[in-house]
Structures are given as C-alpha cells and as structure tokens.
Amino acid sequence: MRVEQANVLIFDSGVGGLSVYQEICTLLPQVNYFYLFDNEAYPYGELAQEILLGRVIHLVQEAVSRWQIDLVVIACNTASTIVLPQLRECLDIPIVGVVPAIKPAALVAQKGIALIATPATITRPYTQDLIEQFLPNVSIELLGSTRLVDIAEEKLRGLPVNLNELKTILTPIMGCVDVAVLGCTHFPLLKQEIADALSETVTLIDSGSAIARRVVSLLSPIIKSAQLGERVIHSTMPPWEADALNRQLNLLGFKLPCALFKTQI
C-alpha cells in the first residue's frame, strides 16, 4: 500500500454510512474520506440482489480508481451481507464490511435478542449463518423495516422524528428482549429515539466502533501524515432536501456541496 495520507472510500445507499464515518474519523482524523452514496437505487433493503451486486461492484470499482482509494468500507449491512466476496476478487486493497453485531449481542443478552435491520438483511443466508453460529440455542426476534431507514434519512435533513410512529414499528420486539442489534447503519443515527421508544433496560448494539477499530488496525501502521484529511461526498443522483442535507454534512466536516458521481451504470 502506497501511503502518506490514506484515501478511504465509505459507501452506502444513503446517509446511514455517516454513522460509521463518524466512528472512523474520530479515531483517524488525518485520513482523506470519500463518501459515496447510491441514492439512485435507495433503498437497498428492497432492491433485487442481482441489481444490488452489479451496482455496488461497478460504483466501488469506479470510485477506487477515480480517487486512488487505499481502503474501502462498505458501510451498509444490506450490501455487505452479499457483496464482499465478489468485491474482494475484483480489488486488491482492503475491503471492510459491516454486518449485524450478533456475536457481541450473544455475549451480553440475558433475556432475548432482537435484530433490527432492513427487510433484505434479516433474510440473507449470511445473517442466518451468523445467528446459527453465535445463537445456536437462543431465539431471536427479526424486525425488518424500511420505514425506519427513511426516518433516519428524514432526521438527517432536520425533520422531526415521530416517537409514536417509532414505537409502533418497534412494537413486535417490545418487552421480550434485553438486547437489540442495530443491523443497519442508518439506525445509530436514531439511537436515542430507539432507546426512548424501547426502554432503558434494552441495550442497543451496533457494529460502528468495531469497524472503526478494524480500519485503524489496517491503516495506522502506514499513515505518516498528522494533518487533518479532506472530506468529500458524492451521490448517484441529486439528493432530496439538498440544502438541509448539506447543512448537516457541513457540520460533519464535508466539503460542500454534495456532488454528483457521474458514471454509466
């Protein structure tokens, strides 16, 4: 790996990957971050598997060569649970994926575990394998919701979160679990609201900090620069409520505006 100041690509369908970006750049502020979101095909949780695979492989390969990326983070559980093997075959740089934190949940749960994710993630064989491996004798509640993903997109654009709506969505898991896995990168953006809607006795677990530690372990031996890195953000189509979104992105340190990632797909 070449490197003075590493270039990291963070990829998601929407703003969810920003929860992962925040964890990583707290530990590694000296890295250049290129955030790319495929809002043209959002929500990934309802996209046919073959289309998702084709888009992610094409967009990530294109971004890697355009920006001379040193490490990729697929900051999306829905994509990571199917795309990682193929992506690793196409690229010879480290690819870090985000998958539901079933293993750490298994270590702390006393009563029961819920996995809150997209409708696609809860049905993926990869997720089922994680469950069989780490929770062989424990039942798990699976809750797939695209509306919850939309609510996180709305919150990042400054729209209020309706706690009653959140409670209705979470009703199926209320009272029967003491640990909830946030298996979609959009959900840590709603962590406080989800905690309020469930109960303070429910522990919420996500993969963000583990991913950040993994990125640090891969990059810190080779980063020389101590200077603050650049942060740029691109989307595959113009985002809705762009002004409100840009204001938040500015607070997160991104160079504005969010630009269009033009490519033939």
Which of 49, 227 has the CB closer to ligand DGL?
A: 49
> What mask of x and - would describe binding to ligand DGL in positions 179 to 198, judged by CB under 6 A?
-----xxx------------
Q: Please give, one letter per residue, the 3-state secondary structure of 32-49.
A: EEEEEECHHHCCHHHCCH
Residues 6+ apart with CB under 8 A from 242: 257, 258
Which of 12, 154 has the CB closer to ligand DGL?
A: 12
- Decide if residue 100 touches ligand DGL (CB under 6 A): no
Q: Which two tokens stand for residue 131?
A: 């469950």
Residues 6+ apart with CB under 8 A from 188: 19, 182, 206, 208
List, in sequence order, every beta strand (DSSP E) within the chain. Answer: 7-12, 32-37, 71-74, 95-97, 113-117, 140-144, 179-182, 203-205, 231-235, 255-260
Give min distance, CB of 37 to ligand DGL, in A.
Answer: 9
Residue 32 marked as a ligand binder:
no
Contact criterion met (CB below 8 Å) for 159 and 182: no
- Decide if residue 13 touches ligand DGL (CB under 6 A): yes
Residue 186 marked as a ligand binder:
yes
* Sites for ligand DGL among residues 104-163 (CB under 6 A): 118, 121, 149
Q: Which of 89, 99, 87 is nearest to 124 (CA)?
A: 99
Residue 80 marked as a ligand binder:
no
How many C-alpha atoms does 63 have within 13 Å on its Cβ side? 32
Task: Pick the binder of ligand DGL from 35, 43, 197, 234 (CB under 6 A).
Answer: 43
- Decide if residue 19 touches ligand DGL (CB under 6 A): no
- Decide if residue 44 touches ligand DGL (CB under 6 A): yes
Task: Pick the binder of ligand DGL from 59, 76, 205, 233 (CB under 6 A).
Answer: 76
Q: Which of 76, 108, 74 is nearest to 91 (CA)?
A: 74
Assess whether 90 carries a catalytic annotation. no
Residue 234 marked as a ligand binder:
no
Q: Which two tokens stand for residue 151?
A: 């609510």
- Decide if residue 45 touches ligand DGL (CB under 6 A): yes
Which of 13, 235 has the CB closer to ligand DGL?
A: 13
- Residues near ligand DGL (CB under 6 A): 12-14, 16, 42-45, 76-78, 118, 121, 149, 184-186
Catalytic residues: 76, 184
